[in-house]
Amino acid sequence: MHMDNRTIAFVDVNGDRVDFDPCLTGRDTLEIPTYLGYAEMRHMYQVVEYDSYLLQEGDTVLVRYDETARPFLRSLVYKYNTMLYNLPYTLPGAIQSKGFHIETVLTHNEFVRVFNYYQNEMEQVRVPSLRETYRNRYVNLDSLSVVYEQYKTNLASKVDSLFQTHSIDTSFYRYMTHRFFPEKRYTTEEVIKTDSLLHYISNYYIAQDYSNVFRESTVAAFDRMAKDTTMSQLAKRGILKRLLKLILIDEAGRKHYSKELKELYRQKYADVTGDSTIVSKNVTKENTVSSSQYILALETTDGQVTSLDEVLEMCAGKMVYLDFWASWCGPCIAQIPYSKALRQRLVGQDIVFLYISTDTSRKNWLDSVHEHADVMSGSYRIQDNSADFLKEIRLEKIPRYLIFDRNGKLVDPDAPRPMDEGVDNTIIAFLNETKTNQQ
């Protein structure tokens, strides 16, 4: 499939979530494994919406984007599939004036919060300044709910008709029914008991919610999940893997676990799941340049937790130009046009641009990323501003730029800014140096 600077998520053959971002991988073609003839792909739109598509085995799909960056899928093998893939997003009423799918507008906090503000006169009196700020994001959700009911009726009628005329099979029909009609979606309890459901990325996220039900510590949740006999093997493996990851990065800086406890839970994970990749992966990483010295807990734009060393691993073989910034930082925002121009000048070079925010407000961070979406692919937010890595590099002011070589080694802890005259020469010099060393 052809991509264009967008983030794709799917489930691999091991039941693990995989993210694909051309800006990090340098590739525009992606192979997604299928299960029983299909593969579900989730596409992030404008850092707010997650559109889902069920792709047929053996198909080659070209992804194109309109002026708002909304995707449109075209099948290059089965012409009829072009209509099927895009059906939920092309029916009348599907996409609202703000560019988002109708369900997103009705449920996402960005629109619900604005609507509630205008329905509350006391709140408007208390914070009058928000009237102008919120004006462009206001949607009358009461009226839109009526449109949504009609949209669902039309979609259900279309899907039923396709099924009755044998234009779609049972698997596709069942997927459409459970994915696009909230009242018919699988519950968490249903998903965690059935391995077959875990091959779909939308169900993967439903399963991950299971560990949050009991509101307990991460370690307690891990121990309880490890003993849970009601879960399918894939569900248990996926949930325990996420909990282990939280332990290894100290719950994004909220806790501090000893090295001994981390090693204990790595081994527990391997014993329960039979998956030793995390154990061997971490042993191997101790001998690489991108080792634990670069551990910095980060949040992705879709709310997942990762760390700097893992992001650097994704960029292996490419140089990394890292930008520490914040939405409230005027000088940081002023660098964005220069960063865009720099990226354009270096198109085709083995370099990845990363943007790591120090924002404490997730909303402010996402709003800024959304506003500068044409530049801010590869965006993350720091979860622990007291992390040792930040102290080691003395991150006392922003914007601040770092350069990592193709092996993930920090080679310039105070690199030139995008607007600086010598930035191109500095980057090219590092690119040529690491290329020569590899040869």
Q: Taking 50 as the threshold, does the pLDDT of residue 282 lie above it?
A: no
Q: Are residues 315 and 368 in the same domain?
A: yes
Q: Is residue 247 included in any domain, yes or no?
A: yes
Q: Are residues 309 and 367 in the same domain?
A: yes
Q: Is residue 2 included in any domain, yes or no?
A: no
Q: Are residues 122 and 226 in the same domain?
A: no
Q: Are residues 304 and 272 in the same domain?
A: no
Token pair belonging to 289: 């340049």
Token pair belonging to 76: 């290059």
Of 67-81, 115-129, 162-176, highest mean pLDDT: 162-176
Which candidate, 358, 359, 347, places its Cα nearest to that of 389?
A: 358
Q: Is residue 3 included in any domain, yes or no?
A: no
Average pLDDT over residues 207-218: 81
Q: Taking 80 as the threshold, does the pLDDT of residue 22 lie above it?
A: no
pLDDT the model gives residue 438: 55
Q: What is the pTM of this model?
A: 0.68
Q: pLDDT tens for residues 27-51?
A: 678 889 999 999 999 998 877 788 9
Q: Are residues 214 and 300 in the same domain?
A: no
Q: Is residue 252 included in any domain, yes or no?
A: yes
Q: Taking 50 as the threshold, does the pLDDT of residue 328 lie above it?
A: yes
Q: How far is CA 304 from the centre of its chain?
A: 7
Classify residue 286 by burial, with Cβ atoms within 10 Å: 0-12, 13-18, 19+: exposed
pLDDT the model gives residue 27: 61
Q: Are residues 154 and 218 in the same domain?
A: no
Helix (H) or strand (E) holding 44: strand 38-45
Q: Are residues 340 and 252 in the same domain?
A: no
CATH assignment at residue 345 = 3.40.30.10
Q: Are residues 186 and 38 in the same domain?
A: yes
Q: How many domains does the chain have?
A: 3
pLDDT the model gives residue 6: 57
Q: Is residue 79 included in any domain, yes or no?
A: yes
Q: Is residue 1 included in any domain, yes or no?
A: no
Q: Is residue 313 included in any domain, yes or no?
A: yes
pLDDT the model gives residue 188: 92
Q: Distance between CA 21 and CA 354 in Å, rounded?
A: 12
Q: Which of 287, 302, 326 is the last residue of a domain?
A: 287
Q: Is residue 104 included in any domain, yes or no?
A: yes
**Residue 188: other Cβ atoms inside 10 A:** 17
Q: Distance between CA 307 and CA 299 in Å, rounded?
A: 8
Q: How far is CA 279 from the centre of its chain?
A: 25
pLDDT the model gives residue 84: 95
pLDDT the model gives residue 281: 43
CB contact burial 233-243 (16+ within 10 A = b; e otherwise): ebbbbbbbbbb
Q: Distance between CA 276 and CA 242 in Å, rounded?
A: 15
Q: pLDDT tens for residues 411-433?
A: 888 899 999 888 999 899 888 87
Q: Are residues 281 and 303 in the same domain?
A: no
Q: Are residues 54 and 85 in the same domain?
A: yes
pLDDT the model gives residue 436: 53
Domain range for 236 is: 208-287
Q: Which of 188, 204, 220 is the last residue of a domain?
A: 204
pLDDT the model gives residue 407: 85
Q: Which of 254, 287, 320 is the last residue of a domain?
A: 287
Q: How far is CA 81 from the centre of its chain?
A: 26
Q: Are residues 235 and 328 in the same domain?
A: no
pLDDT the model gives residue 2: 35
Question: Which residues on neighbouring strands pair with residue 17, listed in sequence order?
Answer: 11
Q: Are residues 241 and 323 in the same domain?
A: no
